[in-house]
Amino acid sequence: MKNYRYLFGPVPSRRFGRSLGVDLTPLKTCSLNCVFCQLGRTPRTTLDRREYVPTDQVLAELQDWLASGQSADYISLAGSGEPTLHRDFGTVLQYLREHSDIPSALLTNGTLLHLPEVRQAAAQADVVKASLSAWNQASFGWINRPHPTLRFADLLSGLQSFRSEFKGQLWLEVFLVGGMNAIPADLRKIAALAATIAPDRIQLNTAVRPPAEDFAMPLSRKQLEDLSLLFEPRAEVIAEFDGSADKKFEINLESIHAMLLRRPCTAAQIAQTFGLHDNEVAKYLGRLVRDARVQPETRGAEVYYRASEAGSSHARP
């Protein structure tokens, strides 16, 4: 199978079936620094909308993939960061609408939908999955840790305006963290705001994979099922609890650590060796660094990862 720089998959997704991912930003280029993000912490949040990766190269890869006759249930703008930060993400969606019968999906945190030009571009997707995990500025601050100039009121008004203009499917994900936004009284506030947006689906998720912060505690399936009743209509529980993803994660984690015990490597070298996408490698390295099993070292313009002596003999329980 051909390796692409800006496409990954198709990968299995509970929401989108077999989804081909389109990655429009460098790793962790985002307007938020969510405590639950499985890609790790955002070093520096940004609202700078620009051409982070060459649009013409993205379109060329899509043209090549579509011509190859491969199939997918969706083509999704998702991956290493917030896709609406790429100023030409609408051009990519327009290309897909004109050249493919495969439905397109935009996975966004919704923070830029208060901008008319972003809403106009996003409206070219067949499905838009946005997020709402807070109920006011304070909760937005401690859960999503936004760019300093972002306001919760703008996030909410952007979602409401987009819903009134968008003719496709709008799905709203509510990411729940134990002790932060999963108290019924607080979740009722989120549910009330979700009702003003009137999405086609409301989906509950939680941190079943290692989050950016260890204190971002996951909820159980039973807790999510009970809390789903607070939404009207009832929310879907989309978190995956079967353990297969966790087993695969642990296997890859130990394999990467074993390689780093032999020699230091860059993230790109790890990705090439294991056939992983950059954002997947970031999850593993983030976990290993947090567990003090690996430490980064800068050599010239490259960052290498070396197994730490203190953490080389044990795995995180």
Region 164-169: what's the mean pLDDT?
96
Question: Which of 75-79, 102-106, 226-230, 301-305 is predicted least confidently?
Answer: 301-305
Residue 75: which residues within 8 A CB-CB, separation 6 or more?
A: 19, 20, 22, 62, 96, 100, 102, 103, 104, 105
- CATH assignment of 7-241, given 3.30.450.40, 3.20.20.70, 1.10.10.10, 2.60.40.1180? 3.20.20.70
pLDDT band of residue 16 (cuts 50, 70, 90) is: confident
Contact criterion met (CB below 8 Å) for 217 and 211: no
Instruction: For residues 33 and 150, give the distance between their C-alpha atoms in angstroms, rounded to a whole number.
Output: 12
Average pLDDT over residues 228-236: 92
pLDDT above 90 (res 244): no
Is a pLDDT exceeding 50 seen at residue 315?
no
The per-residue pLDDT for 1 is 52
Whether the link from the prior residue into 184 is cis, omega within 30° of 0, is: no
Instruction: Report the pLDDT averaged over residues 274-291.
Output: 80
Domain 245-307 annotated CATH 1.10.10.10: yes
Neighbours of 217 (CB within 10 A): 16
CB atoms within 10 A of CB 136: 14
Mean pLDDT for 72-83 is 91
User: How much is the mean pLDDT over the chain?
Assistant: 89
Domain range summary for the chain, segments of one domain joined by +: 7-241, 245-307
Measured CA distances, 156 to 25, 50, 63, 122, 180 (Å): 24, 24, 36, 16, 19
Q: What percent of the chain has pLDDT over 90?
A: 59
Residues of the chain with pLDDT > 70, as a percent, come to 93
pLDDT bracket for residue 277 (50, 70, 90): confident
Most confident of 3-7, 79-83, 100-104, 244-248: 100-104
Q: Which residues pair with 130 in a beta bridge?
A: 172
For the stretch 102-148, pLDDT in tens is 999 999 999 999 999 999 999 999 999 999 999 999 999 999 999 99
**What is the structure's pLDDT at 246?**
57
Find out whether 132 and 197 touch, Cβ atoms under 8 Å. yes
Judge if 7-241 and 245-307 fold alike in CATH terms: no
What are the C-alpha distances in Å from 7 to residues 79, 235, 250, 304?
Answer: 9, 31, 25, 24
The angle subtended at Cα 260 by Cα 255 and Cα 264, nearest 5°, is 150
Give the pLDDT band (50/70/90) at residue 314: very low
Mean pLDDT, residues 39-50 taken together: 92
- Per-residue buried b or exposed e for 103-119, using 16+ beta carbons within 10 Å of the residue's own CB: bbbbbbbbbbbbbeebb
Q: How far apart are CA 121 and CA 99, in angstroms?
A: 17
3-state secondary structure of 305: strand
Residue 95 pLDDT > 60, yes or no? yes
Residue 39's alpha-carbon distances to 234, 259, 268, 278, 298, in angstroms, are: 29, 21, 16, 10, 21
**What number of CA atoms fall less than 13 Å from residue 142's CA on the CB side?**
12
For residue 229, the model assigns a pLDDT of 95
Model confidence pLDDT, tens digit, residues 180-189: 999 999 999 9
